[in-house]
Amino acid sequence: MAIIGFIGLGIMGRPMAKNLIKAGYKLAVYDKFAKFDDLVSLGAEGAASNKEVASKSDIIITMLPNSPHVKDAILGAGGVIEGLKSGTIVVDMSSIAPAASQEVGAALAAKNASFLDAPVSGGEPKAIDGTLAIMAGGDKEVFEKVKPILEKMGSSVVLAGDIGAGNVTKLANQIIVALNLAALSEAFVLSTKAGVDPQAVFDAIKGGLAGSTAMNAKIPMILDGNFKPGFRIELHIKDLQNALDTAHNLAVPIPLTASVMETLQALKVEGLSANDHSAIVRFYEKMAKIEVRK
C-alpha cells in the first residue's frame, strides 16, 4: 500500500488524516504550526519538514489555508519539491486561487510529478464524518489512481476538469454558500422581527423549494446562538477574495458576491472573524436590533 504524506493538520486536515489512518493507510505527517502527537499515537510517522514528508511518500496531500501557504509548502525552501520521488502524486485539497494551482502543477510536472487540485466542501463536521464533497482538477488517469483514497475522506468525489478546475468549482460553491447564508439571515431576521417563531419558520420551509443543506446545517446553530466554527468567517473571506480576483481577471461581474464580502468584512471589524460563517446573521441582527434564537 502506498505511503501517504499529509501536510496541514488544522481544523480540516487533522480529521481527514485520521480517517485515512482508520482506513488502514500508512501516513507521514507534518504541520509547520501545529503539533501532531495524536496522529503519531494512532500510527502515523511524524516528519520534521515538508521535504521529509515528500521523501517518505508516494502520494502527498496538502490541506492549507491559502495560495501562499500551499506554494511555500510545495515549492519553497525545504518544501515538497525538494524531496520528491519521480512519479509522486501531489493532491492539494486546500481552497486556493485556480491560477496558483496551475502554477504549482506546472512546477511539479517539471520534476516528473503529477498534481491534482481537489478542494473540499462540508466543513469540520463532514471532515470528521468522512463525508466531504471533493471537487478535483487534473489528469483523469492520475485522478483514478487516488480516487479510492479520496473516497475515504469524502462521500462525493468528482473530477471537474483540468488542473485549476477543482478550485474554480470550489469558488462557485463558496459563492453559493455565502449568498445562501446571507439570504437565510435576512429571511429569519425579518420573520423574527415580525413576531413569528423562527423554529416554526424553519420547520415550515425546510422541506420546500427554499430548503437547502446550508439551511439544515446552519439554522439550528443560529437558533442555539452557537457560532463555534465549522468554517470560520475569515476563511470564507479568503475564498470570496479568490472568487473576486478570478472573476475580475476573467471580466465576469459578480456584484452579489461583492456585497456579501463587505458584510463579512464588517463582521471581521467587529472581531468575529473566528466565528462560524453562520454568524453572518449577526450583521442583520445588529441592524434590526433583534436576535434569531429559540
Residues annotated catalytic, as ranges: 170
Q: Which amino acid is at 61?
A: I
Residue 285 host element (H or E): helix 281-288
| Closest among 247, 201, 200, 241 to 68, alpha carbons compared | 241
CA 285 to chain centre: 27
Pair 153, 132: CB distance under 8 Å: yes
**CA–CA gap between residue 191 and residue 201 (Å, rounded):** 8
- 230: exposed, middle or buried (Cβ count in 10 Å: 0-12, 13-18, 19+): buried
Helix-helix angle 233-249:98-109, to 10 degrees: 80
Q: Phi/psi at 157 (nearest 5 deg)?
A: -130, 110
Q: Phi/psi at 232 (nearest 5 deg)?
A: -75, 150
Residue 19 host element (H or E): helix 13-22
Q: Which amino acid is at 141?
A: E
